[in-house]
A and B are shown apart, each in its own frame.
Chain A
Amino acid sequence: MQMQPSGPDRKSRRTVAATITAVLAPATVLAGVFLLGDRKYYFVSLLMVLYALILFGLAFERRRPQARELVIAAVLTALSVAGRSAFFMLPQFKPVAAIVIIAGVCMGGETGFLVGALTGFISGFLFGQGPWTPWQMLCFGGIGLLAGALVRQGILRRDRLSLCIYGGLSTFLLYGGVMDLASVLMTFPRLTWQALLASYAAGLWFNLVHALSTVFFLFVLSKPMIEKLDRIKVKYGLMEP
């Protein structure tokens, strides 16, 4: 049975999306350039990240996701948050990126993004929210989205080796690169090469451990997890990506 969306919510959602793209985003850039002075780079980028998250969320709602799809995404999110808290004593040694990549590969990039972004948000409840939360949401989400998109395009294969390579590279470059950039924007008045390089140098070890842990978890988890998710998809005839 097809579900009928309720009218006012749908309309207000469309209004919000239109307002963000047409009014808020350009206004933010202009206000940043003319009013903010030393803080403009951080601000404009932070607000853009928030807009991107909101727009993605609205696009997902517009699709009217089915109950099964939602519950599977919730299961993967819960597993990745639980995995993150299971390894809380080892900094940066986390299975989150690995599970997000598996979600993206099996369930499509959209679910991958959702699992990543929600993991970022929920871990904030467990480990403390901070100015990094939106960036973390975007980075983990982006890793999942890219994994799904690459598999769909046939560029990324679903075997262990290519997933490990993708996992290591994306965690190191995408997550590490963007998070370090965010910390530079937060503490310095403007982006300079020296500050950026210093931040990458300081974060190198952490990013390396994070990337290696993602490779490790993908090596161990990717095959059984993908098998399980595929089995569920075949058994219950879930969405074919």
Chain B
Amino acid sequence: MRDAFSSYHPTVNLAYFAGIILLSMLLLHPYFLVFSFLGGLAYFLRLRGRGALRFCFLFLLPLMAAAAVLNPLFNHAGVTILAYLPDGNPVTLESICYGAAAAGMFGAVLLWFACCGDVMTSDKWIYLFGRIFPAQSLLLSMALRFIPRYQMQAGVISRSQACLGRGATGKGILRKARGGLRILSILTTWALENAIETADSMKARGYGLPGRTSFSLFRFDGRDRIVFFILMGLAAAAFWGLAAGAAGIRFFPSIHLPETTPSVVAIRILYPVLCFLPLILDAAEELQWTYIRSRL
């Protein structure tokens, strides 16, 4: 089933992902890292189901392990020296901690990017940037359309070549390669000729003339407005906390954590809400749906 957050307006989606990705890159304090990571992981599991686990184990964990191990090996800043490497450089407690934090940050960012890729489909990008980059958005949507079209046309060419006895199937790598290249060559010529025809047709229908409108399915309604304001408030609080030094952490030369003041506590309560916002919205929608059904 599609999740609730994906059905919100693209502006809300993009603002959320931009905010959460920036914040998870910046907030290296372990408390915030844990929530960035868990929030991203939970939402990714919600979006992909079981397929998400493969991504996590085959891709995410090795990268995170590499970040954690490489940091103490190549970064020798910090005052607490634990041991010396064979080449004489020190291994410091601070660089080990930074490595762990960098690994967590890396994992969280990758997870949020993966979620963003699933939620922000190409039609949403084109809708958002169509006004300021009209030509490039058109280019993007044309290129996306061309890919399946070329695959189909490649099949057509391949079959007609096979009829002529020049198919790409058959024995021998060289023969196959030559056949494949011939198909590619025919496809390219066809694509270019076809492109000119498309362009002339576009021009004849008034491409680039003023006063054209474009169709989209998205509407910024009340629910989007509410979530957008909540989102802005939470992100503003987190950024303010970061700027005021309340949410940050200093690793070098020695580890320094901010003191616990009321504002720090407030940010610590608000940030998890931001991280789990898509899941909260999803759960709220589910509850509402159950409630409506129970009244029937």
Contacts and interface: CB of A to CB of B under 8 A. Distances in A.
Interface of A: 3-6, 9, 12-13, 16, 35-39, 42-43, 57-58, 60-61, 64-68, 70-75, 77-79, 81-82, 85, 114, 118, 121-122, 124-125, 128-131, 133, 186-190, 192, 194-195, 198, 220, 224-225, 228-229, 232, 236
A124 B117 contact: yes
A35 B117 contact: no
Interface of A, secondary structure class, is helix
A78 B146 contact: yes
Contacts of B196: 68, 71, 232, 236
A122 B144 contact: yes
Interface string B149-182: 0110000000000000000000000000000010
Interface stretch (B229-237, B247-255, B278-286): B247-255
Nearest 10 A/B pairs, CB to CB: A78-B146, A74-B142, A129-B117, A77-B143, A68-B199, A67-B199, A71-B195, A195-B74, A3-B208, A71-B199
A72 B25 CA distance: 38
B157 to A, nearest CB: 14
B210 A6 contact: yes
Given A36-B26, A194-B74, A77 B135 contact: no
B98 A67 contact: no
B140 A70 contact: no
Contacts of B146: 74-75, 77-78
20 contacts: A5-B210, A38-B28, A57-B133, A61-B135, A64-B208, A67-B200, A73-B139, A77-B143, A78-B143, A78-B147, A114-B139, A128-B117, A129-B113, A129-B116, A131-B110, A187-B66, A187-B71, A188-B74, A189-B75, A198-B74
Interface of B: 21, 25-26, 28, 66-67, 70-71, 73-75, 77, 89, 98, 102, 106, 109-110, 113-114, 116-117, 121-122, 131-136, 138-140, 142-144, 146-147, 150-151, 181, 185, 188-189, 191-193, 195-196, 198-200, 202-203, 207-211, 242-243, 248, 250-252
A71 B198 CA distance: 7
B192 A220 contact: no
Contacts of A71: 142, 195-196, 198-199, 202
A38 B252 contact: yes
B151 A82 contact: yes
Contacts of A118: 136, 139-140, 143
A74 B74 contact: no
A189 B252 contact: yes
A189 B72 CA distance: 11
B187 to A, nearest CB: 8
A238 to B, nearest CB: 8
A68 B205 CA distance: 14
Nearest to A56: B136
